Structure formats: structure tokens, C-alpha cells
Amino acid sequence: NAGVTQTPKFQVLKTGQSMTLQCAQDMNHNSMYWYRQDPGMGLRLIYYSASEGTTDKGEVPNGYNVSRLNKREFSLRLESAAPSQTSVYFCASSPLTGSSYEQYFGPGTRLTVT
Amino acid sequence: KNEVEQSPQNLTAQEGEFITINCSYSVGISALHWLQQHPGGGIVSLFMLSSGKKKHGRLIATINIQEKHSSLHITASHPRDSAVYICAAARGAQKLVFGQGTRLTINP
């Protein structure tokens, strides 16, 4: 099993460009999450999907959209990138809905917006 | 004040030392997670606990619900334990509130 995979690993964008971060899991998990990690801030939840067909906003959703394409895949889209979105982005999945279940993290995508 | 506070922020120790990392939270939670972030950036879940104590190898996690406090202990520390350790409080249906992490360095 590959676990949780993310593409790309690194990306540099210019302000105003758009891009989609891809995430896939092969563990048949119901819930999937997108986090961003900034120095001194800890991980913060952007969006989550409790189950296939549902998505909800987290703590910092502005400037992002998500799609739960199927049970395996959960993508994060930046429509018009801004320097404030420079961060490391982690996708995670969990077998069941709820924060009391262990989450499995992808390797991260390091995004720089210039 | 952050909802989840970790101490210390940085810790350097010699190989073999007993390590303790603390996590305090200010709100009611359903569970507490301990995560390890490797120098390369990958994040691994170590423990999820809602009461008492859990042990895995040289790692031990404890939680005191009444005092809103959890500790992560590492016995016989080794340079490969060098990483950032993160605690996260499970609040509500989906929300994890993360601490800022403790950077641990074990010197040989």
C-alpha cells in the first residue's frame, strides 16, 4: 500500500496563477483532510471531507476550493495564488469520520508563491 | 493564548537520556494525538489517547483529563529520535487543534 500520496512535491507559482494539489489514498478511508503548515503556526485545517460526496470548511478556507472526486481522491485548488499561500500543504486521511480517529498524512507539497 | 501549548519548544539532549515533552490544552477534548514530524517533513501518527497511558517501544504517552495535560516520554533516547513532536487536541466532530511542536535533537 502506498498510503497517502500527494503531487506535486514542490511547486513555485507566480501571484495570480492557479493550480491544483492532488491527494490520493489507497486505504479505503472515509475521511480526508487538507492542512497547511506555516512556521510558528502549527498545522491548520483548510477543508475536510467526512465522506465521499461531502466537503466542509475548516479553519482557514479562504482562497481555496476542494473536490472529493471519489473515495480515493481529494484535491485542493488555488484559483488565484497569493504570496500568503506560501506554505507546506499536507493531505491526510482517516478510516472513520471524527477527530478521535488516527490520521494518516501524505508527504506534503511545498508551495512558494512569488 | 493558544488552545494547545507545548513545552519545551526546543530540547537538546544526549543519547540515552530520558525525554519528556509536555502538552497542555485549555478546552474540553475527546482525544489527544501525538505526531512525529521527521527532518524530511513527513508526519507520522504516534499515539491517540483519551485516558490513561499508552506504550509503543521506547515511547510512552500519558494523559490527565482533569488537569488537561498530556506528556510524551522517550526512554533511552537515540539520535534517530531527533524530530519535531506535535500534540493535537481532538475537538468536535472533525477538528484537530495542533500545538506548535517541540523540536527534539539527540546528540550521540
Question: What pLDDT was estimated at residue A101?
Answer: 79
End-to-end Cα spacing for chain B: 36
Q: Sheet containing B19-25: give its strands across.
A: B4-7, B19-25, B69-74, B59-64, B52-56
Contact B95 A59 (CB under 8 A): yes
Task: Look over chain A and give the mean of its residue pLDDT values, rounded to a whole number.
Answer: 93
- Tens digits of pLDDT across chain B (108 residues): 678 999 999 999 999 999 999 999 987 788 899 999 998 888 999 999 989 999 999 999 999 989 999 999 999 999 999 999 999 998 766 678 899 999 999 999
Task: Rounding to the nearest 10 degrees, give the CA dihedral for residues A101, A102, A106, A108.
Answer: 90
Look up residue B22 and give its DSSP letter: E
Q: What chain A residue is nearest to B36 in terms of C-alpha separation?
A: A105
Nearest residue to B34 (alpha-carbon basis) of B76, B75, B90, B78: B90
pLDDT at B106: 97
What's the pLDDT score for residue B1?
64
How many CA atoms lie within 13 Å of B44's alpha carbon, on the beta-carbon side? 8
Buried b (16+ CB within 10 A) or exposed e, A93-111: bbeebbbbbbbbbbbbbeb
All three cell numbers of A15, joined, read 501571484
- CB contacts of A43 in chain B (<8 Å) are 86, 88, 96, 98
Q: pLDDT at residue A95 above 90?
A: no
pLDDT digits (tens, 9 = 90+) for A34-74: 999 998 788 999 999 988 889 999 999 999 999 998 999 99
